[in-house]
Amino acid sequence: IHGEDIRSIVRGMRRKSLVEFPLEHALAIGLGVCAGLAYAHDKRDLDGRLLGIVHRDISPQNVVITFTGDVKIVDFGIAKSDKGTAEDTKDGQLKGKVPYMSPEQAAGQDIDLRSDIFAVGVVLFELTTGKRLFKGNSEFETLKLIIDRDYPKPSDVKPGYPPALERIVVRALAKKREDRYPTA
């Protein structure tokens, strides 16, 4: 794929002293990631049964923006499927980048597509506020923040944040998976 991942883009912006990611670009990226996840989450086998694909590692490093502006999700290497075609995670073994894990993933519980939706919420929060949502001094501390902490609203971090967008981000970041969007 000819393009750059979001992490590289943000690092390049910082080198040029650009501190704010353009809102319209962040929204386009969020929509593109959701479209890609909806496609993966809705994949079916030859008999029409859902495969139950969950990416498990949505993060800035795994979202590539092509030089023509398309949004691509990469690295399905740790994705799981209900059909047992992916590597199973043993008890106590975490897969994915810790700062983008859902509370249930961070706690080592069963996950479903709503875990990916949580990760999209984290990415969108960070792109639209310019601040990391979960950053502890260690991976363990970061996991505790995800599981135990009350999350700030985007407007707590960035005054003037669009209220309609805040409702979307807050719902994607709901601690209880039942309170998140049911599909990407």
Q: What are phi and psi of 160, to 5 degrees?
A: 85, 10
Exactly one of 5, 57, 70, 179 is catalytic; name it. Answer: 57
Q: What is the DSSP letter of 99?
A: G
Q: Where are the alpha helices (DSSP H) in the chain?
A: 6-15, 23-41, 103-106, 113-129, 139-148, 154-157, 163-172
Known catalytic membership, residue 57: yes
Longest dimension (CA), the chain: 53
Beta strand ranges found along 61-100 (DSSP E): 63-66, 71-73
β-strand partners of 80: 54
Active site residues: 57
